[in-house]
Structure 1
Amino acid sequence: MAVRTRRTAAQRREYLWCFLLLVPLLVTFGGFTLWPIVASWWYSFFDWDGVGTPTDWVGLANFVEVASNAAFWRAFWHSFLFSLVAIGVELPLALVFAILLNNVRLRGRNLYRLALFVPVVTTTAVVGIVFVALLDPVRGSVNDALLTLGLIDAPINFLGSTSSALPSLMVIDLWKGFGVSLVYWLAALQTVPKELIEAAQLDGARRSSVVRHIMVPVMAPIAIVIMLLLFQRSLGTFDLVQAMTAGGPIYSTDVVPTFIYRFAFDPEMQAPRYGFACAAGVVFGMLTLVLTLMQAPALRYQRRVSV
């Protein structure tokens, strides 16, 4: 009985230490994740400039203004385009590179993996500043190279033209996040049984047939998860756009996060509209949730395949 009592007391102390170690995580989560979400909902019902205590209650007026704001929907369309490019271009391209780099016979494959992953760990602000210099129409190295090769007759203002700024940002964003998709696919390839591949190769199957009939079906459930993660990441693109164009020129590269930032924190605005920015953030969050739920059939397929 005494031994049982001592064991129970030791277990209680162990549980207590576990809870104590969780306290910093819970405090951080509550202060930097949960509270901002709740506060954004609350502030969205006020006409507030972010200073002092909000007192000017406007109800749903901010939400109505967001819903009727053409600039917001244009920014949302740009954010959605980033996701479409990520899913339609980055996802399959990363799969191709992952299959190539998963070949144990490829010499230096770890070096290639490192080279493709380096942009991911590079600070986005630094990437933005470097590419702004590279794409400069007057002193940029990209225009100099294109002119030297005779591919263009005059310098291209990649970031200063409303027609080329957004595609340029999409290409750079694809390059910046390509390594993440590559790692996802490399991890997914490890779930493909080597016995199946070897059996197919012994039967005379070509490499393309192995990929199409063995690798892709086996990785299908994981591919759906990768697609969802990539969709969420690209839809919230902000730092690269803010560092390179800040939504310009003439808001042609404006995305929802830069739209929200401009109304909430941009020092050029004489009277920030923090309540309106919070309402825009809430609407954007709800739209993101709806788009994610629209992919529920794919998640049900994943569970059915997994079983």
Structure 2
Amino acid sequence: MYAFLLPTFILYGMYTLYPIVASYWYSLVEWNGFSADQRFVGLDNYEAVLADPLFWSSVRVTLLFMLIVAPLRVFGAFALAILLNSPRLPFSSFFRTAYFLPVVTTTAIVGVVMRFILDPASGPVASVLQLFGLGPVDLLGSSSTALLTAGVIYVWKFFGITMIYWLAALQTIPKDLYEAARIDGAGALKLFRHITLPLLIPFLLIISVLTIEDCFHAFDLMQSMTAGGPFFSTEIIEIYIYRWAFAATIPQLGFASAAAVLFGIIVLVVVIAQVWATMVSRRLRARA
């Protein structure tokens, strides 16, 4: 048995554990990633990252992106899940599949296609706007609209995952509760208010934390659509790290690793919040 597990352990150690451990070491050295010379600088990289205004700008953009995406995904998917969970809705299975299809589509391809669709010169959106006499609108090329546009596309791309979470949560509610309430004369609004909502509160905590954590990992979509532009208005932390590690004229692997470690601390805080939310949800379900 251990012989069959050995390849998995080796690959996991080489491509997961080792890069994590190595990034901590690289964050303490000055290294361009090409030469063998690695000069130990201690915490200088961390001080440089924390003193860089663009790092804090990427943190602000990441948090703003999360504030745009998370509520739309959580509450929008909740409303859609309530609708699709209704036994009276025809073709509900078809609609569930249709809303989940973007999830299985390659994210980078979605970004490239969206750049074509939103192209202000030759894209379909520009052609439709011209039919109504509206001038070309560069949604991804304007610093005032790029982040919001990317957020909406991100919501559409991963909307199906959150919808599945809510549908699974709705399936945990016993049907007997609804039948007993209907016998007592409760209508649809009372069923939703007094049965559905209270029993879904624990799931709301978990789904919200999972969605917020997922919002920190939008590199592939954002990089393929805007590459952090225009004027760093969509440069999330992951793109900031990528720019210093791979896209700079002289790569700074130590500097980028320090930024990655700080990013990992932010994600760790979210994970701790997720554990806390799970514990609270279990207590609420036990009381219910």
Return the TM-score normalized by structure 2: 0.94
User: How far apart, in 2, do the equivalents of 1:277 and 1:50 lie?
Assistant: 11
Give the C-alpha shift of residue 209 in structure 1. 2.3
Deviations 1:222-246 (A, max 9, x none): 2222112111111121001100110
Q: Secondary structure at the match of 1:90?
A: helix
Give the C-alpha shift of residue 167 in structure 1. 0.6
Give the C-alpha shift of residue 292 in structure 1. 4.0
Q: Alignment partner for residue 213 of structure 1, among 183, 194, 199?
A: 194
Aligned residue pairs, count: 286
Give the C-alpha shift of residue 67 in structure 1. 1.0
Q: Alignment partner for residue 18 of structure 2, among 35, 39, 45?
A: 35
Q: Alignment partner for residue 290 of structure 1, among 264, 269, 272?
A: 269
Match in the other structure for 2:155: 174
Give the C-alpha shift of residue 30 in structure 1. 1.3
User: How far apart, in 2, do the equivalents of 1:31 and 1:206 lie?
Assistant: 58
Q: Secondary structure at the match of 2:30?
A: coil
Match in the other structure for 2:141: 160
User: How far apart, in 2, do the equivalents of 1:61 and 1:34 lie?
Assistant: 25
User: How far apart, in 1, do the equivalents of 2:104 and 2:274 lie?
Assistant: 29
Give the C-alpha shift of residue 204 in structure 1. 2.4
Q: Alignment partner for residue 117 of structure 2, among 131, 134, 145?
A: 134
Q: Alignment partner for residue 28 of structure 2, among 45, 60, 63?
A: 45
Report whether the alignment pairs 1:244 with 2:225: yes
List aligned pairs for 1:74-153, cutoff 5 A. 74-149=57-132, 153=134
User: How far apart, in 2, do the equivalents of 1:39 and 1:223 lie?
Assistant: 37
Amino acid at match of 1:198: E
Give the C-alpha shift of residue 291 in structure 1. 4.0
Assess if the C-alpha contact under 8 Å between 2:199 and 2:285 holds in 1: no
Match in the other structure for 2:254: 275
Give the C-alpha shift of residue 296 in structure 1. 5.9
Assess if the C-alpha contact under 8 Å between 2:108 and 2:224 holds in 1: yes
Amino acid at match of 2:52: N
- The 4+ residue runs of structure 1 with deviation greater than 4 A are 294-297
Amino acid at match of 2:256: A
Q: Secondary structure at the match of 1:235?
A: coil
User: How far apart, in 2, do the equivalents of 1:30 and 1:288 lie?
Assistant: 21
Give the C-alpha shift of residue 277 in structure 1. 0.4
Unaligned runs of 5+ in 2: none
Unaligned runs of 5+ in 1: 1-16
